[in-house]
Amino acid sequence: MNTYNMVKQRFIKKWINTLHMLDSSIEHPLNVTERKNAIRLSSDLAIAAARSGATVWSRALISRSGNKTTNKPMARRILKKARNRIKNRCSTLRRNGNFTAKVGVRKRTELLKSLVPGGELIDDKDYLIRETLDYIVYLRAQVDVMRTVAAVDLVTGNLTNDRRNK
């Protein structure tokens, strides 16, 4: 319980930062889709930053998100850094024992690789599972926090409208 809360806390902190950064660097006004993309981008960056780039998925997420924000030169720097680390990671993962993969498992691991950011670069199934586990934790934290914030916004919105309508 303690640690999951800490995960969420870190996520919230980063999310505040990324929202601010994104908000000041994007020109307004925006339509709903762009806003949604911006929010999604900011929260993805936040979970990746909360993971501090120590996992493949977080770095891949950063590099993937870096492509979407063209007006952030700093993101490009991060992108380069992430790419390098991912390359290094690939070469270290080559040394494994042989493992037998059955057809069904094989297909599913391919699918999982496509889901987890940066998964395609991972050869070791064991490592892939570890990455997935970590990614799930942070995804869930993201969902929990966003859901709560959305609910809060709903309440606030209702009450604000109530006051306005009086």
Which of positions 79-108 make contact with another protein (CB under 8 A)? Answer: 85, 88-89, 91-93, 95-99, 102, 104-105, 108
Q: Does 61 bind another protein (CB under 8 A)?
A: no
- In whole angstroms, how close is the CB of 77 to another protein at the nearest point? 7
Work out which of 68, 83, 120, 129 binds another protein, going by CB under 8 A. Answer: 129
Size, binding site for another protein by CB under 8 A: 108
The residues in 19-38 that bind another protein, with binding defined as CB under 8 A, are: 19-26, 30, 32-33, 35-36, 38
Number of other residues whose CB lies within 10 A of the CB of residue 163: 8
- In whole angstroms, how close is the CB of 79 to another protein at the nearest point? 11
Cβ-based nearer residue to another protein, 4 or 67: 4
Within 13 Å, how many C-alpha atoms sit on residue 90's CB side?
Answer: 10
* Sole residue written with tokens 């690789």: 113
- In whole angstroms, how close is the CB of 68 to another protein at the nearest point? 13
The residues in 137-166 that bind another protein, with binding defined as CB under 8 A, are: 137-140, 142-163, 165
* Sole residue written with tokens 């762009």: 34
Alpha-carbon gap, residue 121 to 86, rounded angstroms: 8
Cβ-based nearer residue to another protein, 53 or 120: 53
- In whole angstroms, how close is the CB of 61 to another protein at the nearest point? 11
Number of other residues whose CB lies within 10 A of the CB of residue 110: 12
* Sequence-distant (≥ 6) Cβ neighbours of residue 93 within 8 angstroms: 122, 123, 124, 127
Residues 97 and 77 sit within 8 Å (Cβ to Cβ): no
Q: At what angle do helices 125-165 and 56-66 cross, to 10 degrees?
A: 50
Q: Does 70 bind another protein (CB under 8 A)?
A: no
Q: Does 55 bind another protein (CB under 8 A)?
A: yes
